[in-house]
Amino acid sequence: MENKVSRPIWRRNLYVLWGCTFVAGIAFSEVGPFLSLFISQIGDFSHQELNFYSGIIYAVSFLVTAFMAPLWGKLASNRGHRIILFVTAGGMAIIYILTGFVHNVVLLFLARAAIGAFSGYIPNAQALVAAQVPRDKSGRLLGTLMTGSTSGVLVGPVLGGVLSHIFSIRQTFFITGGLLLIVAFLSVSLVKEHVPDGKTVATHTKRKGGLLKQFSNPRLIMVLLISTLIVQLGNSSIFPIISLYVRQLMHGHGAITVIAGVISALPGISNIMAAPRLGQYGDHHGSGKVLIAGYLFAILVYLPQGFFASLWILGILRFLVGISDAALFPTIQTLLTKNSPPEALSDIFAWNQSFQALGSMFGALWGGAVAGMFGYNMVFMSTAVLLLINFVLLWFTEPSLRGSKAV
């Protein structure tokens, strides 16, 4: 039962961090869809070289994130999430501003690696809220919080496309850095968190047996983390080459960055509408039902994207992808929250970010390699196959997820 002291704290933080993750989402997604175009501007590359560099430069930040996320989780457990929110947002702000000055792929590669080192803002915001909200409402409230970053990701590509069309992609890096400076300031000034003096000692004591030994069902935790990796792999397989695919469909003419931004943003619209409702449904009827249905729906909407060379059909199907994302990502996080002890939340959200980052890295490399060898259409079809494999893994390894209300 919520007490009168904790209630205003979690509600205030939920509102503040929704706004901060919204701005952070804009910053993170403003330049992502256009990295491949930026690479083509700073060097003269063949089609295969461009796809390769696009994949590897997009992927490196996530490789670094995968290794850094557990460190941010440990620091958050010991020092509190609020200071980590400030450091990660501020660090990324500086790196984005410096990225605006690079003129070759090596420096861009290093800049993206540095961005990965500070990519801990959104999962720490989610972990802070997850630790404070009532667990019987965690599905709806975490789903609501995720609409903040999703809304930002929705607005980001459109805003980035317009800005890069009016100004340049290089100028957009500077604007992105400015947005993240605002996020850092708001996080340190408005977010409230109580960190007990003895937290460091207590956390150390609880970790002696290892992270997974803290959970009543460690197999479920591992299956959920692997699922995070595969779902994100599917999402990221198209993201680094979406602007190149749109340019191909438009035959190299028109406002390519604007259209690519809109196509990239469409999943966010449906995600915003669906995530809180699906989270609330999962709270009442079982998160396992939502997760299984989300996988089946995702397979059905990814597969047709490989058969139609039409911007309109691509846009409609990308819109539907947002509904599958709304069923998958928040539900996985809700299941992790409901099946984790409170003292392990910071660690498990950090590990979840690591697996998500690995999914982004492998997805970028996979998408770039498949697009270079077989064409863009095959990227969508191969993603559908990977999601089918993930569905089979869930179905046979963790029966508790088959619509059980217990999870």
Q: What CATH number is attached to the domain comprising 225?
A: 1.20.1250.20
Give the Cα separation of 311 and 405 in Å (integer): 40
- For residue 127, the model assigns a pLDDT of 80
Q: What is the pTM of this model?
A: 0.69
6 alpha-carbon distance from chain centroid: 28
CB 357 within 8 A of CB 116: yes
- For residue 402, the model assigns a pLDDT of 66
Degrees to nearest 5, angle at CA 99 with 96 and 105: 140
Is residue 204 pLDDT above 70, yes or no? no
Percent of the chain with pLDDT over 90: 12
Average pLDDT, the chain: 80
Write out the residue range of the structural domain in which residue 291 sits.
6-193+213-401
**Residue 407 included in any domain:** no
**Residue 73 included in any domain:** yes
Give the Cα separation of 347 and 185 in Å (integer): 25
For 340-355, write each residue's pLDDT tens digit.
777 777 778 778 878 8
For 35-77, write each residue's pLDDT tens digit.
778 888 887 777 778 777 877 887 788 888 888 878 887 787 7
- For residue 196, the model assigns a pLDDT of 60
Q: Among 236, 256, 237, which Cα is nearest to 41's?
A: 256
Q: Torsions phi, psi of 94, nearest 5?
A: -65, -45
**Residue 204 included in any domain:** no
- For residue 146, the model assigns a pLDDT of 75
Averaged pLDDT for residues 120-143: 76
> Side chain identity at 33, as an amino acid letter?
P
CB 108 within 8 A of CB 99: yes
Give the Cα separation of 353 and 331 in Å (integer): 15
Averaged pLDDT for residues 101-115: 91
**Residue 406 included in any domain:** no
**Residue 109 included in any domain:** yes
Is residue 360 pLDDT above 90, yes or no? no
* Residue pointed to by tokens 């330049």: 31
Q: Where are the alpha helices (DSSP H) in 31-137?
A: 35-41, 47-79, 81-99, 105-117, 121-132
**Residue 199 included in any domain:** no
Structural domain total, the chain: 1
- How far lies 90's CA from each of 63, 67, 178, in Å? 20, 19, 10
**Position with higher pLDDT, 47 vs 119:** 119
59 alpha-carbon distance from chain centroid: 13
For 362-396, write each residue's pLDDT tens digit.
887 788 788 878 887 888 888 899 999 999 988 88
Cα Rg of the chain, angstroms: 20
**Residue 207 included in any domain:** no
DSSP 294-349: HHHHHHHHHGGGGT---HHHHHHHHHHHHHHHHHHHHHHHHHHHHTS-GGGHHHHH
First-residue to last-residue Cα distance in the chain: 20
Instruction: Kindly indicate the confidence band of residue 6, based on its pLDDT and cuts at 50, 70 and 90.
Output: very low
- For residue 33, the model assigns a pLDDT of 67
DSSP 216-270: S-HHHHHHHHHHHHHHHHHHHHHGGGHHHHHHHHTTT-S-HHHHHHHHHHHHHHH
**Residue 368 included in any domain:** yes
CB 23 within 8 A of CB 182: yes
Q: Torsions phi, psi of 339, nearest 5?
A: -110, 20
- For residue 200, the model assigns a pLDDT of 46
Instruction: Kindly indicate the confidence band of residue 195, based on its pLDDT and cuts at 50, 70 and 90.
Output: low
